[in-house]
Amino acid sequence: MDAPKRVLIVEDDLTSLELMAGYFEVEGFRVLKASNGDEMDMALRKANVDLLCLDIRLPGRDGLSLLRELRRSSDLPVIVISSKTEDVDRIVALEIGADDYIDKPYNPRELLARANNILRRVGRSEQAVAEGQELVHDFNGWTLTPAARRLAAPDGSDVHLTRGEFELLLALLRNRGRVMQRDALLDALSGRERDPFDRTVDVLVGRLRKKIERDPKDPEIIITVHGIGYVFL
């Protein structure tokens, strides 16, 4: 029998924290709680966490700052939670590396469904990479080694990729030369459901271009096919 998944909830409102913890505990999760960034850091040092639910509005370091710091060294799945509804907050969260985003007030069943979906697809992605660990993709002097989740620049240095960036780059490389629709690319990302208004793919492409293109504003590797999606040359 698989061990229960651990979720860390970072929320400064005690009522919201306890309610959210209760939702996850009923579903068999082990729940860790934190009310600020320092408590979050301590919890992550003490335990292996499978999923982070992170509120944007926190005392001290806000959720976006914490996510930015986390992504420098970790691909831990993160659901950002906020009472804000502006598109800019959702886009910024995705640009920084959030796996999903949900607005307050939210339906607890939707939150749990998103959490389970992320964890399920992350597991599938990791298994698929492990099964194809002999594959190495070379392009324009760059090398992506899926089994090690390592992207090496032409000068041999390592370039950090978030899980979303890695999954998207791998999907594009596996279909090199083929025009990929946004829906198909969205399917390759852990935890993402099809949504005609979801800009996750576009945000991730923008981030990848900044890392691998000589001129992100005039890309030569990941090309936009207007009205359809992208092609990796």
User: One digit per residue, pLDDT tens: the chain, 233 residues?
Assistant: 567 899 999 999 999 999 999 999 999 999 999 999 999 999 999 889 999 999 988 999 999 999 989 988 788 889 998 876 666 777 788 878 888 888 888 888 889 988 988 888 776 656 655 555 547 889 999 999 887 788 999 998 999 888 888 889 999 998 888 888 888 888 777 655 555 446 788 888 999 999 999 999 999 999 999 888 999 98
Q: Check residue 89 and give its pLDDT.
A: 76
Contact assessment for residue 31 and residue 25, using Cβ atoms and an 8 Å cutoff = yes
Mark whether 32 and 69 lie in a shared domain: yes
List, for residues 143-199, the tens digit of each pLDDT value: 998 877 889 999 989 998 888 888 899 999 988 888 888 888 887 776 555 554 467
Q: Check residue 85 and give its pLDDT.
A: 64
Mark whether 148 and 210 lie in a shared domain: yes
Mark whether 181 and 85 lie in a shared domain: no
Mark whether 147 and 52 lie in a shared domain: no
Q: Check residue 131 and give its pLDDT.
A: 58
Q: Which domain holds residue 162?
A: 132-232
> Which of 94, 122, 150 is at the close of a domain?
122
| DSSP E strand stretches across the chain | 6-10, 30-34, 51-55, 78-82, 100-103, 137-139, 142-145, 150-152, 158-159, 179-181, 222-225, 229-232
Q: Check residue 99 and give its pLDDT.
A: 84
Mark whether 103 and 142 lie in a shared domain: no
Q: Check residue 232 and give its pLDDT.
A: 93
> Which of 96, 122, 148 is at the close of a domain?
122
Mark whether 118 and 10 lie in a shared domain: yes
Q: Check residue 57 and give its pLDDT.
A: 87
Task: Tell me the CATH number at 68.
Answer: 3.40.50.2300
Tell me, yes or no, whether 59 lies in a domain. Answer: yes
- β-bridge mates for residue 152, sequence order: 143, 158
CA distance 121 to 73: 21
- Structurally, the chain folds into a number of domains equal to 2
CA distance 66 to 27: 27
Distances 113 to 24, 35, 63, 81, 87 between C-alpha atoms, Å: 11, 23, 22, 14, 22
Tell me, yes or no, whether 1 lies in a domain. Answer: no
Mark whether 116 and 18 lie in a shared domain: yes
Tell me, yes or no, whether 127 lies in a domain. Answer: no
> Which of 67, 100, 122 is at the close of a domain?
122
Tell me, yes or no, whether 78 lies in a domain. Answer: yes
Task: Tell me the CATH number at 170.
Answer: 1.10.10.10
